[in-house]
Structure 1
Amino acid sequence: MTISDPVTDRRVFRPTVLDLGDATLRPWGRALDVPGGVVPALVAASRDPAVARWSPLGGTGPVVPETYLDRCEERWAAGTAASFAVLDAADGSLCGNVYLGWTDREDGVAMIGYWLVAAARGRGLASRAATAVTRWAVEHADVRRVELYHAVANADSCRVAERAGFPYEGTLRGSYTYGGGVYVDEHLHARLASDPFPD
């Protein structure tokens, strides 16, 4: 017999599509429709210098797109993480990614991350996508707090965090390695479900 937990039963990420007007956020998976195919699009994104430097997608070795897509599908199916491909509304091309996953599901704490390919940068897309995913998580999965971490040297990500309504909370020393084997300091930004969303 399975015992139901009313708290964690509410805290489930269900696949959905979010519309930003000029971009659409769709769940990652092998069936995702991207011009030229989802696997080549992921490989190309992993070769973008900024993505390779700051994102776990670049990691410490070559990207295995099929493994990445399978992991996204498994986490969606389990309701434990939401990985969205950010697609251009006009041509369906891959612009980037927004990920949100539980760090403490029972307490309602999740973590968000994002990346964009070079062609999609400079139009506020990362902050708008992060805001949309955060709002969706608060409204539909009972997320109480969302944390955002980025390397101190990643000034672009810091600006995205601030525009998306994630105030700076402090610096974590030697907290993460971005594929280079050296642990770097990170900024912690976070927002609560009760915080007002940016316009």
Structure 2
Amino acid sequence: MTFTTTPVVPAGSLSASVQPSIPSQDGELLLRPWADDDVPVLQRAYEDPLIRRWHMQRVASPAEARERIAAYRRGWEQKRAAHWVITQAAGGEVLGRMALRWMDLQQGRAECAYWVLASARGRGVAPRALTTVADWALDEVGFHRLELVHSDRNEASCRVATKVGFAAEGMRRSAHLHADGWHDMHQHARVQGDA
């Protein structure tokens, strides 16, 4: 298919290199690609009741965790997604996950997704990690628009999105099926040039 516009993110600009590790502005966090050694922590994360509540997928075994990590790698290679482990820069403690999903390089658009382990909640991990990936995607890679959606019942994610400058754009009614039924989803976005 031929487009009438050139790609916002030039072809090859991501897949021509290995997925980067990205430090936070304060130097306290590091977003790094998932590794095979992360299988146990990934499986344990999806045992957390809060992560299970807001995420529709499960990781029920080491084999599923290995496959998920392999899928994360394929996402980068195929320029469809980028998934990082959020770690403490000093010592490498795993704190959570950050992702750019459904990357559309032609339009320069992607969706942000994240979770934070129970042991790291309340320490500002999610806002700092989201700021890190958004600044990298918009300023360094050249994405034009980053989206973030969350259940209207997930007030913590709404606070994170707002704090990081993702403007509220409205509600997508009955948009995602969770274990407890259909949820309305808040839509947020940050675009190039937003303060």
TM-score computed with the length of structure 1 as normaliser: 0.84
1:34: which partner in 2? none
Query: Superposed, which structure 2 residues align to 1:21-32 within 5 Å?
Result: 21-30=27-36
Counterpart in the other structure of 1:74: 74
Q: Which AA in structure 2 matches 1:18? A: I
User: Residue 104 of structure 2 aligns to which amino acid in structure 1?
Assistant: D
Q: Verify the 8 A CA contact 1:177 1:184 in the aligned structure 2.
A: yes
Residue of structure 2 in register with 1:131 after alignment: 131
Task: State the partner residue of 1:148.
Answer: 148
**1:114-140 Cα shifts (integer Å, max 9, x gaps):** 100011111211011111101111123
Would the aligned equivalents of 1:174 and 1:185 in 2 still touch at CA under 8 Å? yes
SS in 2 for 1:112: strand
How many Å separate the matches in 2 of 1:50 and 1:132? Answer: 23
Q: Gaps spanning 5+ residues in structure 2: where?
A: none
Alpha-carbon spacing, 1:133–1:80, altered in 2? closer, same or farther (3 Å) = same
What residue in structure 1 maps to residue 108 of structure 2? 108
Q: What aligned pairs does 1:18-97 form with structure 2 within 5 A after superposition?
A: 18-20=22-24, 21-30=27-36, 37-56=37-56, 59=57, 62=60, 64-97=64-97
Amino acid at match of 1:80: R
| Correspondence for 2:14 | 12
* Residues 52 and 58, structure 2, Cα contact 8 Å, conserved in 1: no
Unaligned runs of 5+ in 1: 31-36
Structure 1 runs of 4+ with >4 Å offset: none
Percentage of identical aligned residues: 33
Matches within 5 A, 1:171-190: 171-178=171-178, 180=179, 182-190=181-189
- Tell me the TM-score normalized by structure 2: 0.86
Task: Provide the aligned C-alpha RMSD in A.
Answer: 2.0
Q: What is the distance in 1 between the residues matched to 2:101 and 2:122?
A: 26
1:195 aligns with 2:194: yes
